[in-house]
Structure 1
Amino acid sequence: MALKRFGVSLEDTLLSNLDQYVTENGFANRSQAIRFLVEKNVAEKKWQCNHIVAGTIIIMYDQTKKEIAFKIAEIQKSYQDVILSSTQYYLNKSFTLHIATVTGIALRLTELSDKLISIKGIKHGKLVMSRAD
């Protein structure tokens, strides 16, 4: 896949809001934040439905930041009805790969995924779903 670059013009206020979003969510740069927002928007439009789906939520984070694991656990408590399993793999001294296997209404899984992926300090996150009904 080719990487295409293009210029985007934003008003000062919107650019300031983008910079704040980048900082608050721990993105490396504006491009990463914009990619996340575009992918999120596409996924939300695709999955704003009541279809029963199954899938996985995959997130990568720095395990030395203990508050991230705590926040993941707190969020998952509210979604026990859709989480089939949740596991962590310690990849090295710093990074943890967290995988949650989920099933339920697409909109609810998207909601859970958004909450997990938007935790400050998450390096990467993705929801993969397929219809199961």
Structure 2
Amino acid sequence: MGKTIRFGVSLNSELLEKFDKLCEDKSYQTRSEAIRDLIRGVLVQREWEETDKEIAGVLSLVYDHHVSDLAQRLVEIQHDHHDIILTSMHIHLDHDNCLEVLILKGPGESMQKLSQKLISTRGVKYGKLTLATTGQDLV
């Protein structure tokens, strides 16, 4: 880890009040902790924009398992992309609905294409890709 450097930041008093309220609401012990998280968030966002860079993510899908052949179609799509699916979890939410969670790792563009293919499969009620980072380039 690199050397810690202190620097000053000038803010409008109203903006600082709002930031302090945010820090309190999010249980940050110091402004520095909050600023570090904000910077890391922007750096992770930049990783997502570099579509060939390896990133991590979580894809959540909710679907009605009674829809004809839907589960089989989802499994086939997943098998076609086994190289970026690290693991999956299947949960029965109720008699009709299932939640499937996939943990993904791979090139951003590949993850987004797979996610869109699964989300847009007829019978899927809801899908969301939450992108993360492998942490390789963050300090």
Fold in common (TM above 0.5)? yes
TM-superposed deviation, 1:50: 1.3
> Against the structure 1 CA distance between its residues 110 and 62, is the aligned structure 2 distance closer, same or farther, given a 3 Å change threshold?
same
Identity percentage over the alignment?
30
Aligned equivalent of 2:52, options 40, 50, 53: 50
TM-score (norm 1): 0.62
Structure 1 residue runs of 4+, over 6 Å off?
A: none
In structure 2, give the amino acid aligned to 1:100.
L
> Against the structure 1 CA distance between its residues 95 and 108, is the aligned structure 2 distance closer, same or farther, given a 3 Å change threshold?
same
Unmatched runs of 5 consecutive residues or more in structure 2: 1-47
Structure whose alpha-carbon radius of gyration is higher? 2
Count of matched residue positions in the alignment of Structure 1 and Structure 2: 89
Residue of structure 2 equivalent to 1:87: 89
> Against the structure 1 CA distance between its residues 47 and 110, is the aligned structure 2 distance closer, same or farther, given a 3 Å change threshold?
farther
Aligned equivalent of 1:67, options 47, 66, 69: 69
Residue of structure 2 equivalent to 1:96: 98
TM-superposed deviation, 1:131: 2.4
Q: CA RMSD in A?
A: 1.7
Residues 90-118 of structure 1: CA deviation (Å, up to 9, x unaligned): 01101000111110111000011011000
Residue of structure 1 equivalent to 2:129: 127
CA contact (8 A) 1:47 1:110 kept: no
